[in-house]
Structure 1
Amino acid sequence: MLTGKVALITGSGRGIGKTIALTFAKNGADVVINYPIDSLKDEADGVVDEIKALGARAVALKANVADFNEAKALIDGTIAEFGKLDVLVNNAGITRDQLLLRMTEEDFDQVIAINLKGVFNCTKHAARPMLKTGGSIINMSSVVGLVGNVGQLNYSASKAGLIGITKSTAKEFAKKNIRANAIAPGFIESDMTKKLSEKVIEAALTNIPMNKFGNVQDVANVALFLASNLSSYVTGEVIRVDGGMVM
């Protein structure tokens, strides 16, 4: 589905980003793995090795997407390595959860810098090379960007902002054959959800009509659809992967 395409996934050394990277590689894409700090290099290199074992090309590039110039270097490095950029997945993100009255200015600023400004940085720098070839931009939002959540004012704001970025990008570049869409995951099985108590899990499941958590492959499959030509007439959409939790 992605043969001949080059994809960059930010924050792709683990979790959803890693699964998206592997899914893209299995479908023929050459992949750029991004990591933000030196201590995560080995993790990113491990993903590169897994991708190469699948027969695809891959490289790991360090960049803090919240830094405008590092984001530019990330895009430039992708072009230098593979000659073009067809798919950008803005996946890098952090949480600094805290109730509003306890949330610090730093908690707010850090989340907005990476989750929101990082997407602006990468999208701005990726758009120009994509003008030559067309492309697909996929932004990783969240259901909390649609409905909010207690203790996640900063995270919810960043994910809601991503929806605005997605729709504006889609409108600006539709005539240039560049599509922009967002994915809004709900409860996805992860190291974090494994730490939840049975009581919390039961409470969460009561709000999910399908009565189960999703997994990272569920999200990666939607990303694959949006990256591929199967979604060539889809832009400006927010696709929930949440088992019906928000509808």
Structure 2
Amino acid sequence: MHRFANKTVIVTGSSSGIGEGIARRFADEGANVVLNSRSREDCEKVAADLDPECTLIVEGDVSERGFAKTIIAKTVERFGALDILCSNAGIAQSGAFSETEDDDIDQVLSVNVKGMLYMCRDAYPELKKTKGCIVATSSVSGTGGDYNQALYTVSKGAVTQMVRSLALEWGECGIRVNAVNPTFTRSDLTKGIEEKPQLMKAFNRRRALKRPAEPADIAGAVTFLASDDADYITGINMPVDGGISASNGQPDFRKYD
């Protein structure tokens, strides 16, 4: 299946984890893929398995002013157009908010919020030409609170709301804007969590599907939202969480009969 033949997609934060899974899925479906992270070497490891004629690496930090214009210009120079922006780059931060340092606040908001704002704003002229779309990576933490993750939930809440606002503002131009809201997803970055059996059991008690997400699970939802099959879908934040958000948090009454 080549739903994205002759389409070009930028996937920020695509050297590992969810971003890598998204990039690989688009490549498998025929897209020209622009890989991005702050490390060119890490992107090259992903690119080694992809068609070099359909792959471009643009290393850099999405939170830096001017970088969005650079990656978009290089994309259009190489492939002629931009059809899809996957604003995926992000960082996590946990801990008591009362102990949060100023540098922590600056870093998380710069990457998770400013990075998306810059990328979306500067992609707009090209996406308007192609009537393209944006799929952002938000989080279940962008729709509800988490213990000891106030800063992260604030940043993902901003992504969730930005998607809604841009969908309203840019719909008349033919640009669709959506997000996926994953939960814990297996990757090199989450190995520390998987090494805590009691924490993993607690996660599984909350998940209807009783297993962690894989990057491919998130990638499937992203490519659906970017495809023509979702041509009349905009402004949504799609939970890809194994059923966590289906619960209102009350206990399983069956276990107390």
On whether the aligned pair clears a TM of 0.5, the verdict is: yes
- The verdict on how the C-alpha distance between 1:192 and 1:131 changes in structure 2, with shifts beyond 3 A counting, is closer
- 8 Å CA contact 2:179–2:238 kept in 1: the answer is yes
CA displacement, residues 44-101 of structure 1 (integer Å, 9 cap, x when unaligned): 1122221117xx6101002211112111111111111111100000000012222111
What does residue 11 of structure 1 align with? 13
The 1-side partners of 2:151 and 2:163 are apart by 18
Alignment of 1:155-234 (within 5 A): 155-196=152-193, 197-234=196-233
What does residue 66 of structure 1 align with? 63
The 1-side partners of 2:191 and 2:107 are apart by 25
The 2-side partners of 1:104 and 1:23 are apart by 37
CA displacement, residues 161-202 of structure 1 (integer Å, 9 cap, x when unaligned): 001110111111111111000100012122344323111111
What does residue 252 of structure 2 align with? none
Alignment of 1:1-247 (within 5 A): 1-36=3-38, 40-52=39-51, 57-196=54-193, 197-247=196-246
The farther-off stretch of 22-31 and 61-70 is: 61-70
Give the letter aligned to residue 40 of structure 2: K
- 8 Å CA contact 1:182–1:239 kept in 2: the answer is yes
Give the letter aligned to residue 113 of structure 1: S
The 2-side partners of 1:50 and 1:190 are apart by 18
Give the letter aligned to residue 176 of structure 1: C
- 8 Å CA contact 2:16–2:187 kept in 1: the answer is no
- The verdict on how the C-alpha distance between 1:11 and 1:193 changes in structure 2, with shifts beyond 3 A counting, is closer
Q: Which TM-score applies when normalising by structure 2?
A: 0.91
* CA shift for structure 1 position 6: 0.2
Give the letter aligned to residue 179 of structure 2: A
Give the letter aligned to residue 186 of structure 2: E
Q: Give the share of equivalent positions with the same residue, in percent.
A: 33
* CA shift for structure 1 position 24: 0.2
- Aligned residue pairs total 242
CA displacement, residues 18-60 of structure 1 (integer Å, 9 cap, x when unaligned): 1111100110100000112xxx21111122221117xx61010
- 8 Å CA contact 1:163–1:182 kept in 2: the answer is yes
CA displacement, residues 97-153 of structure 1 (integer Å, 9 cap, x when unaligned): 221111111111100000011000000000011111111101100001111211211
RMSD: 1.2
- 8 Å CA contact 1:149–1:156 kept in 2: the answer is yes
Bigger radius of gyration: 2
Q: Which TM-score applies when normalising by structure 1?
A: 0.95
- Runs of 5+ unmatched residues, structure 2: 247-257
